[in-house]
Amino acid sequence: MFHKEGYKIILITLVLAISMSLAADYFITNHYLRSALMLLAIVMLVLVLQFFRNPKRNLNISEDHVVSPVDGKVVVIEEVFEKEFFNEKRLQVSVFMSPINVHVTRYPVAGEVVFSKYHPGKFLVAWHPKSSEENERTTVVVGSKNFGNVLHRQIAGALARRIVNYAKQGQQVTQGSDSGFIKFGSRVDVFLPVGTKLDVKLNDIVKGGTSILASI
């Protein structure tokens, strides 16, 4: 199963892979070079297919939990001053996605979208200290029953050149449903109330919609 954001790219890559293979078979007489080009076409297609995969998940839905919005590795846990929406200290949990991770972004909590904004910006590497403020990004805030307003921010990285955000202000959303997609990138930050009990630690591997970041 593949995410809808990948359909066009998958189709283009499939056409290119078939064209490369046919051209190599027809025009190149050297067996090793022909085989190498055909293998390159197959590898290119496989990489694109795995990047846009969207496996079915048994979602961990509960108003007492905040779930991870994406697959990846927990790289930041710290109290920071969040100045775009809250203008106060919040507990930041950041998850870094490698190119081999599933890149669907999911809502960490259920509730009403109270804020959704896109910011154009740079494409610094995702672990750069200023990437959360200077990179291309989207900020989404969902008002939840037990955690209040929970902010998650998609951040593009050095490879990510396209952020897709489905959240619209006033929309009612369910926990674990699609919030967006980051094509070829890279990091999502979650901002929680200071003092929230976390269920993860640095370097933990998490899965979107199933791994619990925090609980009541």
Q: Confirm whether 146 is domain-assigned.
A: yes
Domain count, the chain: 2
Residues 160 and 207 in one domain: yes
Residues 47 and 80 in one domain: no
Q: Confirm whether 60 is domain-assigned.
A: no
Q: Confirm whether 108 is domain-assigned.
A: yes
pLDDT of residue 182: 84
pLDDT of residue 52: 82
pLDDT of residue 159: 58
pLDDT of residue 161: 55
Kindly give the confidence (pLDDT) of every residue in the chain, 216 residues in length, as a single tens digit, with 9 standing for 90 and above: 887 887 998 899 999 999 999 998 888 889 899 999 999 999 999 888 887 888 888 898 999 999 999 999 999 999 999 999 999 999 999 999 887 888 899 999 999 999 999 998 765 655 555 556 667 889 999 999 999 999 999 998 655 557 889 999 999 999 999 999 987 668 899 999 999 999 999 999 999 999 999 998
Q: Confirm whether 56 is domain-assigned.
A: no
What is the model's pTM? Answer: 0.85
Residues 83 and 170 in one domain: yes
Tokens of 126: 């995702």
Q: Which of 116, 132, 179, 186 is catalytic?
A: 186
Tokens of 56: 């079915």
How far apart, in whole angstroms, are the C-alpha atoms of residue 167 and residue 157?
Answer: 21
Residues 113 and 208 in one domain: yes
Q: Confirm whether 57 is domain-assigned.
A: no
Residues 85 and 146 in one domain: yes
pLDDT of residue 55: 84
- 186 counts as catalytic: yes
- Domain limits at 95? 65-215
Residues 28 and 129 in one domain: no
Residues 6 or more apart in contact with residue 157 via CB below 8 angstroms: 123, 124, 125, 126, 131, 135, 185, 186, 187
CATH code for the domain in which residue 133 is found:
2.70.70
